[in-house]
Structure 1
Amino acid sequence: MTSIELRLPPDYRAASLRKDSLAGLTAVPKSLPPKWFYDAQGSALFEKITELPEYYPTRAERSILQAVAPDIAARTGAAVLAELGSGSSDKTRLLLSALREAGTLRAYVPVDVSESALIQAGDSLAAEYPGLAVHAIVADFGLDLGLAGDGTSANGDGTAGPRLVAFLGSTIGNMEPAERASFLRRVRAQLRPGDTFLLGTDLVKDPAVLVAAYDDDAGVTAAFNRNVLSVLNAELGADFDLDAFEHVALWDARNEWIEMRLRSTAAQPVRVRDLGLTVEFDDGEEMRTEISAKFRRDGVRAELAAAGLAMRDWWTDANGQFGLSLSAPA
């Protein structure tokens, strides 16, 4: 059975896009948040990215889950799997199957800003796992984690059931350090006794490997990057010429993150009708569209500890490219 809980106002997406675009396009330097890549076209492009030979993170994380999901199930005894930014819930099936095999699974709580993605994934999982209660929450985990009052405080017999809260895909790398610290503190504040937190983190490695993952030969990531301009054109009446912006991916060694940018190939004005705004781009001016921080085990442990979380377990794939950590309230 699938239920949907709406925690966002009906006009949230439109209002949030207007706010973020106005702030980012008038900032120096200009920037746009990566969440605006993901309309239907952007989501389809990202799925293509995950299949590219250069893009290792999805394969690496899945290989870890395939190897250790039974261990995670045994160590957590989770009755509820809650997933932040669940999207299509693809890799989630490995955890759900392991928890069901362990005999503890009662409910799945996906949290995502896209109601349509939640409905599609929830209906699919409810069909695949008969008897599984799917309580989907439409929320922006940047503001509301969706974990408080999620309807899983009891397991039907009046006893509390432990939750495994998963944040996969190294999405945490899209946050700057202060944002990560705030996010982890909010996770810790909403964990109940017995709950655990599973975090996916992409690891620092050869910069050539990192850059290639964000600048593939087929140009799929470039199309994905420029798609944020298509979103502004479609939803805010902007007149970005996508062909007048080049995809840029670079490694920032000081911050240990990849930056994706869009570089204007000419001096050009861009009108954003719904904001009543004209934005001037200089020839060669770059606008940041994403950061993707890369991590080290000791750094992950320290960031978790600063938020009041103790790392219990750490796993990597065979090539040491990706890290998965299991933590509990300290």
Structure 2
Amino acid sequence: MNMHVAVQARAHQLDPQTQSFATDVLDGLSRPQKSLPPKYFYDDRGSELFVAITKLPEYYPTRTELGILRARAGEIGALIPPDAAIVEFGAGATTKIRLLLAAHQVAAYVPVDISGDFIAAQAEELCADFPELAVYPVAADFTAPFALPDAVRARPKVGFFPGSTIGNFEPQEAAHLLGTFRDILGRGARLIVGVDLEKDEKLLVPAYDDAAGVTAQFNLNLLARINRELGGDIDLRAFAHRAIYNRDQHRIEMHLVSRRDQTVRILGERFAFTAGETIHTENSYKYSLPRFRTLAEQAGWTLQQSWTDADGLFSVHALERAE
């Protein structure tokens, strides 16, 4: 961490959440390869845009994962204790969790996400449709340890991490994250994880660079958020969205590309861009089944079962905490 950056962020007397955002932005834009953490995509507007992305014809992960969850809901539900609490890390729209709740009765649901207002609204809708379900929304950064609500601590716990969000983390970070989930959920825990699989880039790239430009809006919204929350003066028209497949690293990369030479200002700091220079905003790693199993084992989980669609595009895995 650049110490000047940390001091600069603290000097503006921001609330703790905004200060963390500021520190990460100033630090990321100070690096030789400018970067921004993808977790900051998901303010209220970003969350809305991501829901729109999941409905696009090019974006196969959501509909394919939903197909697996529908087809295998009974098998997955059989692995969930009847009095369990399901803890969804990075909860967004409730479409996927509804499939599990409809197939298997559980006692409680704990949606966890950094966007507190969004998950509170989603939780309210869920309570209306499942009146006997106790719902306890938690506004937290799920990448760091946090306390579960007192009401669920004594219950068996099943983590739910769909959507291939695990792919947004560097492999070593992904292993650390799975280890954090292991610690949060506690002894006897289980974890259901969605993982995108390796495939031809002719399918991959359009999923992250759709014809309607929704993913471009999602990427550029990160700059709009910087302007709004950190007083930036970034001209969004001066940046373009780019998605590429890095075959050697097994990952899709998303970047924001400077269309011209320019300087932007954020919290009194200046950041110069040359034409064509990029801000690396997201990776989405793609796994083979054996590589994900190895990753899970490194994090202290034992693979119970894996399911894929008929075309081998996506996978869902049931893990059990290794004691």
> Same fold by TM-score, threshold 0.5 exceeded?
yes
Over aligned residues, Cα RMSD in angstroms? Answer: 1.5
Which residue pairs with 1:82 in the alignment?
A: 87
**2:144·2:180 contact (CA, 8 Å) conserved in 1?**
no
Which residue pairs with 1:3 in the alignment?
A: none
Check 1:211–1:107 CA distance in 2 against 1; reply closer, same or farther (3 A cut).
same
Alignment partner for residue 99 of structure 1, among 91, 97, 104? 104
C-alpha distance after superposition, 1:174-225 (max 9, x if no partner): 1112211211112223343432110111111001110110111111111211
The one-letter amino acid of 2:228's match is: A
1:73 equivalent to 2:65? Answer: no
1:199 equivalent to 2:193? Answer: yes
Which residue pairs with 2:145 in the alignment?
A: 144
Alignment partner for residue 321 of structure 1, among 306, 313, 317? 313
1:278 equivalent to 2:279? Answer: no
Alignment partner for residue 293 of structure 1, among 272, 285, 288? 285
**2:258·2:273 contact (CA, 8 Å) conserved in 1?**
yes
Which residue pairs with 1:251 in the alignment?
A: 245
Q: Secondary structure at the match of 2:48?
A: helix
- Give, in angstroms, the shift of residue 17 of structure 1: 1.2
Identity, in percent, stands at: 45
The 2-side partners of 1:190 and 1:37 are apart by: 24
Matches within 5 A, 1:251-270: 251-270=245-264
Alignment partner for residue 206 of structure 2, among 180, 203, 212? 212
C-alpha distance after superposition, 1:161-183 (max 9, x if no partner): 42211111111111112211211
Matches within 5 A, 1:122-133: 122-133=123-134
1:165 equivalent to 2:159? Answer: yes
Which residue pairs with 2:21 in the alignment?
A: 17
**1:77·1:99 contact (CA, 8 Å) conserved in 2?**
no
Q: Secondary structure at the match of 1:289?
A: strand
The 2-side partners of 1:124 and 1:212 are apart by: 32
- Give, in angstroms, the shift of residue 13 of structure 1: 2.5
The 1-side partners of 2:44 and 2:313 are apart by: 29
- Give, in angstroms, the shift of residue 14 of structure 1: 0.9
Structure 1, unaligned stretches of length 5 or more?
Answer: 1-9, 155-160
Check 1:150–1:260 CA distance in 2 against 1; reply closer, same or farther (3 A cut).
farther
The 2-side partners of 1:193 and 1:74 are apart by: 19
C-alpha distance after superposition, 1:264-308 (max 9, x if no partner): 111111111xx2101100111111011111111001100011112
Which residue pairs with 1:4 in the alignment?
A: none
Q: Secondary structure at the match of 2:53?
A: helix
The 2-side partners of 1:113 and 1:120 are apart by: 13
- Give, in angstroms, the shift of residue 150 of structure 1: 4.7
The 1-side partners of 2:146 and 2:153 are apart by: 16
The 2-side partners of 1:126 and 1:203 are apart by: 33
The one-letter amino acid of 2:311's match is: N
Q: Secondary structure at the match of 1:17?
A: helix
Which residue pairs with 2:168 in the alignment?
A: 174
The one-letter amino acid of 1:153's match is: R
- Give, in angstroms, the shift of residue 71 of structure 1: 1.1
The 1-side partners of 2:319 and 2:162 are apart by: 14
Alignment partner for residue 184 of structure 1, among 178, 184, 201? 178
C-alpha distance after superposition, 1:14-60 (max 9, x if no partner): 11211111111111110011122222322222122111111000101
Structure 2, unaligned stretches of length 5 or more?
Answer: 1-13
**1:244·1:266 contact (CA, 8 Å) conserved in 2?**
yes
1:224 equivalent to 2:218? Answer: yes
Q: Secondary structure at the match of 1:58?
A: helix
- Give, in angstroms, the shift of residue 138 of structure 1: 1.4
The 1-side partners of 2:310 and 2:35 are apart by: 36
**1:137·1:146 contact (CA, 8 Å) conserved in 2?**
no
The one-letter amino acid of 1:303's match is: L
Q: Secondary structure at the match of 1:53?
A: coil
- Give, in angstroms, the shift of residue 85 of structure 1: 0.7
The 2-side partners of 1:190 and 1:48 are apart by: 31
**1:84·1:166 contact (CA, 8 Å) conserved in 2?**
yes
Which residue pairs with 2:40 in the alignment?
A: 36
Which residue pairs with 2:10 in the alignment?
A: none
The one-letter amino acid of 1:84's match is: F
Q: Secondary structure at the match of 1:142?
A: coil
Q: Secondary structure at the match of 1:76?
A: coil
Query: TM (normalized to structure 2)?
Result: 0.91
Query: TM (normalized to structure 1)?
Result: 0.89
The 1-side partners of 2:265 and 2:31 are apart by: 16
**1:191·1:329 contact (CA, 8 Å) conserved in 2?**
no
